[in-house]
Amino acid sequence: MDLDQLVRTLEEKAPRYRVDIVEMLAAAGSGHPGGSLSLIDLISTLYHHALRQRPSEPQWPERDRLVLSKGHGVPAQYAVMADLGYFPRAQLWTLRKLGSPLQGHPCRSWLPGIEASTGSLGQGLSVAQGIALAGKLDKGSWRVYCVMGDGETQEGQVWEAALSAAKFRLDNLTVLLDYNKLQIDGFTRDVMNLEPLADKWRAFGWHVITIDGHNYRQIIGALDEARQVQGRPTYIIAHTIKGKGVSFMEEQVGWHGVAPNREQADRAIAELRTRAGLPLTEAVR
């Protein structure tokens, strides 16, 4: 589809994905709404535009690989995967239940389409780099995408991976940073300041792009630019808003890892539907 049509599709799907995230977390009674809501526009654009995939054949050898390093944001990934047919949408409401393939953090052995079991923060980039190296050795045409959180970027292992990915000239590797600037203990600038972030990654040998992480045209443009870069990996700094789309969750650190109760979820869903012009009585499940 052309760019305008793709943007319209993403804009139409965004509130529905956010409703699904809120509903999943309310049903589970636990989880991470803030980072899932800040992440969803990046994940949605990846799946609808960048990733070469076959939902009916999740282990297709030529697929692009996505590693969600900030594994606690996986409700966003589940919402999009269900919409694309990786699994029945009814399974969304089993999030975090015993025996469900939709665990609170991605589990590769339980859900086809998940490339890496993540949740131990700071490790996803190393995993993604290993997959990208394998792609180079196999002379594969597929690409690797790693979605990271800003809080986990404080981990030393991230910077070791940043050094070696550039050393090995992994131009098949693209990182997207969900830079919402809040982590469980407060603002990232207060916990361990990352700035000047773009300058640091450039100094490590990466191609760096800075965008608005809720602007679909900018996300699409950055992903397209990354595919053209040769000889080095790409790092996309996506400025986002924690809790994006739900007014009482936006930029509130308290919503990092606390699920909404039923009344809060109903308020959030009503707000999302009203903003998007969706019927307030539309069935969720």
Query: Which domains does the chain possess?
Result: 3-276 (3.40.50.970)
Structure token pair of residue 280: 């307030």
Q: How far apart are CA 109 and CA 129, in angstroms?
A: 20
pTM greater than 0.75: yes
What is the residue type of 94? Answer: T
**Cα–Cα distance list, 176 to 205, 233, 235 (Å):** 16, 11, 6
Read off the pLDDT of residues 85-102 as tens digits, 9 standing for 90 and up.
Answer: 999 999 999 999 999 999
Read off the pLDDT of residues 117-149 as tens digits, 9 standing for 90 and up.
Answer: 998 999 999 999 999 999 999 999 999 999 999
Q: How far apart are CA 120 and CA 150, in angstroms?
A: 14
Q: How far apart are CA 70 and CA 118, in angstroms?
A: 7
